[in-house]
Structure 1
Amino acid sequence: MHIVYASDGKAGHRSQAVGLFKAMQRQYTDEVTFEEVNIQDLPIFSLLMGMLIKSFRGFSKQPDYIFGVGSHTQLRVVLLGKIYRQAKTVILMKPNYPFTWFDHVIIPEHDGIAENGNVILTQGALNPIINEQRHVPNRILIALGGSSKRHQWNEEKVLHSLKNIVDNNLQAEFILTTSRRTPSEFLTHLKLESFAENLNIFPVEETPQGWIFEEMQKAEAVWVTEDSVSMIFEALTAGCRVGVIEIDRLKQDRITKSIDQMIEKKVISKTESNADLPQAQTFKEAERVATYLLAK
């Protein structure tokens, strides 16, 4: 089986495609190969010409599945599906085009779309993580985000939460990392706080690719600022107990509502004590979607 991924180069989008590919690879009895092709190498004109001759020279072999994530991949996935009629087209997002233009549409349930026809709803975006059962008791990972279209970074609130997390988990080993959205001056201010001596700090600029996924495998618990929704689901998939650090909300929407619902259902918590966090969940969304696709 050969999977072609039309890539826009964004790491978060690639993570979803790779997560589904790896889940299919684990379940399929024969070899499953993955070919990532940047959309710059998939010009629309060439794809239109390819529709006429029923061929496209850009791939190592004919695809069985064509994946796309991101608005700029959608039309390319549609056109590739017209060239390779035997291939199943899979778009991992709410598309701008009619859903029926794709064989499968995979959408996080917080987007508010009904699951019917060719639509598959998931709890959060897919990711390549599995629970490797390597969690170390009292090892805590703290992952900080920043401002977004629905959140505003609040340094005072974050510092207060970090102090409480440290004070309420005195026996723990703490690993803290930032994201590219974390204000550049924050770590300077954090290091002035007395509790910071308890933190092992790894700025995002100094962490290699895959570092945070490895840390999730080792952490018993993960605290994430609530703006980092994808990281919340990654930590849940890794089998961690998950806490959220509140920052200011600029607006209420389906995303913030989904966070509140998970708190209400005790999937995640706003508590600052590891002992009071909900027990680790069993999140295997990529596995579930792969099972469905392969059964089809």
Structure 2
Amino acid sequence: MSEGHAGMEVPAVALARALGLEPEIKRVKIRKPWRWIPPRFLPAPLSYAGPDGDVLAPPWPDVIITCGRQAVAPAAEIRRRSAGLAGAKTFAIHIQNPRVPFGWFDVVVAPEHDQISGPNVITGRGSINGITPERLAQAAEEFAPRYAALPRPLIGVIIGGANRVYKMDAPVVERLTAQLAALARDKGAGLAVTTSRRTGAANEAILRAGLADTAADIWDGTGANPYFGILALADNLLVTGDSVNMVSEAATTGKPVQVIELAGGSAKFKRFHDSLRRDGITRPFTGELESWSYPPLSETARIAEEIRTRMPEALRARLNPGSL
């Protein structure tokens, strides 16, 4: 259950599937002005659900996984209501810091760089995601024809953009474009490039103009997004540092991941990037390709396994046996 934004829904669904569950997705929309009130002060949050969200009503689920501020109070109320039904208490998991007493949930899952702790808190490195070897194999098969003609090494370039703490301006993109063109020209590399909505049309134009005469495939936003295909097929991955999720997903491949630094940042982002660099998972991109190896980051599976150990035995027995 979440507000419906992809950044919240994707990790919740990924964690559910790692637990062996096929989730029913609920999108909650708290009515104004209640959505602006901190979750700890909503006395009856289920009564404040807006008409544009999903209905939340019994029978209550065995497990509820939430992510995002608006889902905190409704999930906690569902847990409280279900506790009055014999043998039917909902096991509640929240992803990220709920900013309420952690005891409102059975488990809170948060990234290490948030620096929170508690007896029911499980911390992980980076973001929870749905990248699995099976998903990468499927993407490799789907997108192999697209990149078959590009020379090797194939460099996957995953570009985000400006957000609340980072900025991506023309000089940064011009420098990156020149570095990529040099790799294609001097190393004979192929470039598989994908951008995001945050990259911006002006920055994309700089990339396309600067890489026009190179062996580059730049996704134009039409057709299937080749993002997972790039993760699966590239020999090296270059990822802008503005997204914990993109860097985390790249690191699940075990391939060399070099982070493209942008202007700005925050203490949380610094802790995240410093941690991965310290343990040899990522390196900064300075214009040259580097090669090294490390154990693929598999935090989602590890966290799911720890959550299972905290579930009541009767509930664990009902999970998909293939996931245990």
Q: Deviations over 1:89-134 (max 9, x none)?
A: 10001012111111000000011113x3000001011001113475
Higher mean alpha-carbon deviation, 116-125 vs 132-141, is at 132-141
CA 1:220 to 1:83, structure 2 compared with 1: closer, same or farther past 3 Å?
farther
Q: Distance in 2 between matches of 1:157 and 1:196?
A: 20
Q: Give, in whole Å, the separation in 2 of the partners of 1:21 and 1:166.
A: 41
Matched-pair contact (CA < 8 Å) for 2:45–2:77: no
Corresponding position of 1:267: 281
Deviation at 1:225, TM superposition (A): 1.0
Task: Indicate the residue corresponding to 1:171 in structure 2.
Answer: 188
Q: Give the conservation status (yes or no) of the 8 Å contact 2:2–2:28.
A: yes
TM-score norm. by structure 1 comes to 0.82
1:106 paired residue number:
109
Cα distance change on mapping 1:166 and 1:160 into 2, 3 Å: same
Q: Is the 8 A contact 1:222 1:242 kept in 2?
A: yes
- Could you tell me which residue of structure 2 aligns to residue 28 of structure 1? none
Of all paired residues, the percent bearing the same amino acid is 24
Q: Does 1:47 align with 2:46?
A: yes
1:205-244 matched pairs, under 5 angstroms:
205-206=221-222, 208=224, 211-244=226-259
- Which residues of 2 match residues 39-188 of structure 1 at below 5 A? 39-40=28-29, 47=46, 58=57, 62-85=60-83, 86-114=89-117, 116-132=118-134, 134=137, 138-168=153-183, 170-188=187-205
Q: 1:131 to 1:33 in 2, by over 3 A?
A: closer
Structure-2 change in CA distance of 1:177 and 1:57 (3 Å): closer
Residues 189-237 of structure 1 deviation map (CA, whole Å, 9 limit, x = unaligned): 222225653210103x32536x412331222221111112210001111
Tell me the distance in 1 between the aligned counterparts of 2:96 and 2:278. 26
Residues 46 and 188 (structure 1 numbering): CA distance in 2 closer, same or farther, change over 3 Å?
Answer: closer
Instruction: Give, in whole Å, the separation in 2 of the partners of 1:206 and 1:288.
Output: 35
Aligned length: 273
Paired with 1:141 and 1:258, the residues of 2 have a C-alpha distance of: 22
After superposition, the Cα gap between the structure-2 partners of 1:146 and 1:46, relative to the gap in structure 1 and judged at 3 Å, is: closer
| Contact 2:4 2:27 (C-alpha < 8 Å) held by counterparts | yes
Distance 1:33 1:256 in 2: 35
CA separation of 1:256 and 1:196: change in aligned 2, threshold 3 A: farther
TM-score of the aligned structures, taking structure 2 as reference length: 0.75
1:149/1:194 Cα in 2 relative to 1: closer, same or farther (>3 Å)? closer
The one of 6, 9, 12 equivalent to 1:14 is 9
Distance of 1:154 and 1:92 partners within structure 2: 32
**Offset at 1:179?**
0.8
Distance in 2 (CA, whole Å) between partners of 1:7 and 1:228 is 20
Partners of 2:45 and 2:209 in 1: how far apart?
57
**2:229 is paired with a residue of what secondary structure?**
helix
Note the alpha carbon deviations across 1:6-33, whole angstroms, 9 max, x for none. 22111111110111112111xxxxxx33
Structure 2 residue runs of 5 or longer lacking an equivalent are 35-41, 49-54, 84-88, 145-151, 311-324
Q: Distance in 2 between matches of 1:7 and 1:117?
A: 24
CA distance in 2, matches of 1:33, 1:156: 45
